[in-house]
Amino acid sequence: MDSKQDAKVRIEQLRTEIREYNYYYYVLSESKISDFQFDSLLKELSELEQKFPEFYDPNSPTVRVGDDRNQQFEEAEHRFPMLSLGNTYSKQDFLEFDNRIRKAIGDDFEYVCELKFDGASISLSYENGKLSKAVTRGDGTKGDVITENIKTISSIPLVLRGNGYPDFFEIRGEIFMPHKVFEYLNEIRRKEGKNEFANPRNAASGSLKTQNSSEVAKRKLDCFLYYFVADNLPSDSHFENLQKCKEWGLKISDNMLKTNSLDDVFKYLEYWENNRNKLEYDIDGVVIKVDSNSLQKALGETAKAPRWAISYKFKAEKALTKLISVDFQVGRTGAVTPVANLEPVFLAGTTVKRSTLHNADYIKALDLHFGDFVFVEKAGEIIPQVVGIDVSKRVLNAQKVVFPTKCPECGTDLIRSEEEAAFFCTNYNGCPPQIKGKIEHFIGRKAMDIEAGGATVEMLYNSNLVKNVADLYDLKFEDVVKLDRFAKKSAENLIKSISKSKKIPFEKVLFSLGIRHVGESLSKVLARHFKSIDKLKDASFDELVEVGEVGDKIAVTVREFFEEEKNNMLIERLKSAGLQFEIDDVELVADILAGKSFIVTGNFGTAQRRSEIEDLVEKFGGKKVSSVSSKTDYIIAGEKAGSSKISKAEKLNIPIISEKDFLDMIGLE
């Protein structure tokens, strides 16, 4: 190039050409030039951008190859919440949905039928025609920002075509891995001695969370977009809006149907249930939506799902194969799970070699024998399970599958309570898979978020460096760097990550302890209710069951956990290491609710949302209580609110309000 100006002109020319070729190849499935010609143009652009870094553009086609530096994912709130869909599995269920629609808005409307892609949900934001942010679904309210990873997906335009699009809009879709890519990657992983991907959906979802975007680029992911949201939509028709999106270069499926005929809907469902295997990607059903956006708004939504759309799920596929053996696996809680080892069989897009057998009762009900030919299907199109046996193929004198009476790992007698379906090994602090499982749970991303995996835990355990979670905080760099496959940098990263975890908030620390039946959402509820581990530890059974989400079974397991002296000693060690075991008092935003007491009861979509409402009560000066009395001022009732509480409130003439009423009260609606 003779000058910077010449370089700038050529760079812009190359970017425009490459974007156009990308659009034709990845969106329209048309090749305008050969792969060699395309690669030559991309190479020329890359070299010019390196030579003239002042012309850097975050949306250049060269970002498709990704970056080999690790990234940290931040969370971002969805401007428009990403709701789940209600599911139906029969035509009768759909007719009931249709009747509800017609009662609400009459008969003058159309449906749009779309394929339900089986992948990972994504929300893309475009500002002034350029991709600005990509966020995972997360909990529907907020998710992880994975923009750099999404930029490596060639079917997602970084810069839109044409004009007429809103200055800002979000478009939702599904990231998926095509069958041929899935098979190719698994073949490579087999040759390299790595574990194969379980199915295309898991492979796509896992790829999106890879911290190295250059690795994501190698996965050759694809994307279909299906829901356009903006303050100013081009049309009242959802279908027409998607056609507009297609003009702007966004990849929209051609397999859509707009109709006002129920017969057409049923034909569409039947066709795709019978022909889904002809597609180059996985679908697990059909989504049926009311087409008009104004009617969608009129129908509204529940706390977790729109009333104007429903998902029709296909029946699971079945395959017949032979049972070779049964493994009995011990989990971190001590539960023993039987897993069938099968002759490989192709089912719903993947090769199945193993399948869950659930528990002892399930094996007994099947009357399972070694060498049986069993029917396997995928629950929810994901998890393979044995659902039946072809007894006619059973060989003479076949040996019956019997559930063990002792732990297959440590030999401890297995027990089973009347309330449980599973058998448990009670050697909680001495059974190796339980110990390793607890450590893996503790370091998990939703818990203490320590940068390590199962292989690292196995190595630390086998080297006698870590025998419980508190031992992690005693690790020294010089101990770790001596281990196989630990270079200086990876050892430093592990120690830094462990140190960083000391700032993880109490609710996640509580979840990381792995108390039975206390999941992520309930940990938040308990942490916010009791404020500290000491108050939770001292809580009586009655005090526990007063907490909205806590039933008798959970209260018992929480009490049992804190009655075990080894658990208390572990907590004391973690306290000494500097972990967060309490939360600060709620910061007062305003005293609008001063002197008022509230009960929050019922379903608000998620336990997390319920906790958020309870937090708002306190932040605006109110008092959160758990039992109805004459001193209670308001009941905030969600779906399926406790009938006894509502009944008592009505007798005492206590106002029963909705979440919206409450938000109006504090000025947040």
- Give domain limits for the chain: 4-65, 86-313, 318-415, 432-503, 506-577, 597-665
As a whole number, mean pLDDT of residues 386-402 equals 93
CB 411 within 8 A of CB 428: no
Q: Which pLDDT does position 630 carry in this prediction?
A: 84
**pLDDT of the residue at 277:** 83
Per-residue pLDDT reduced to its tens digit, 415-457: 997 777 889 999 988 899 999 999 999 999 889 999 888 888 9
Lowest-pLDDT choice from 264-278, 327-341, 366-380: 366-380
Q: Classify residue 347 by burial, with Cβ atoms within 10 Å: 0-12, 13-18, 19+.
A: buried
- Please, where are the H alpha helices in 172-329? 179-191, 200-208, 213-218, 238-247, 262-275, 293-299
Domains 318-415 and 432-503 share a fold: no
pTM exceeds 0.85 for this model:
no
Pairing of strands 318-330, 335-347: antiparallel
pLDDT mean over 501-516: 92
CATH-assigned architecture of domain 318-415:
Beta Barrel (2.40)
What is the predicted pLDDT for the residue at 1? 54
pLDDT digits (tens, 9 = 90+) for 172-211: 999 999 999 988 888 888 777 777 777 788 888 888 877 7
* Count of residues making up the chain: 669
Determine the Cα–Cα distance for residues 302 and 640; give it in Å rounded to an integer.
12
pLDDT in tens, 66-86: 554 455 678 788 887 888 888
Write the class of the CATH domain 506-577.
mainly alpha
Structure tokens at 297: 């708004």
Q: Quick check: 654 and 627 in contact, CB under 8 A?
A: no
| Distance, CA of 481 to CA of 479 (rounded, Å) | 6
Identify whether 151 is a catalytic site residue: no
In the set 116, 313, 378, 436, the catalytic residue is: 116
CATH 3.40.50.300 corresponds to the domain 597-665:
no
CATH architecture for segment(s) 4-65: Orthogonal Bundle (1.10)
Q: Which residues pair with 339 in a beta bridge?
A: 327, 356
Q: Where are the alpha helices (DSSP H) in 209-292?
A: 213-218, 238-247, 262-275
Pairing of strands 111-117, 257-259: antiparallel
Q: What is the mean pLDDT of residues 95-113?
A: 95
Amino acid at 145: V
Architecture in CATH for domain 432-503: Orthogonal Bundle (1.10)
Asked if residue 99 has pLDDT above 90, the reply is yes
Name the CATH code of domain 86-313 (choices 3.40.190.120, 3.30.470.30, 3.40.50.2000, 3.40.50.10540): 3.30.470.30
pLDDT value of residue 585: 61
- Maximum Cα interatomic distance, the chain, rounded to a whole number of Å: 87
- Three-state SS for 209? coil
Calpha distance 649→312 (Å, rounded): 39
DSSP E strand boundaries for 4-163: 75-77, 86-88, 111-117, 120-127, 130-136, 142-144
Average pLDDT value for the chain: 87
Confidence category of residue 14, pLDDT binned at 50, 70, 90: confident
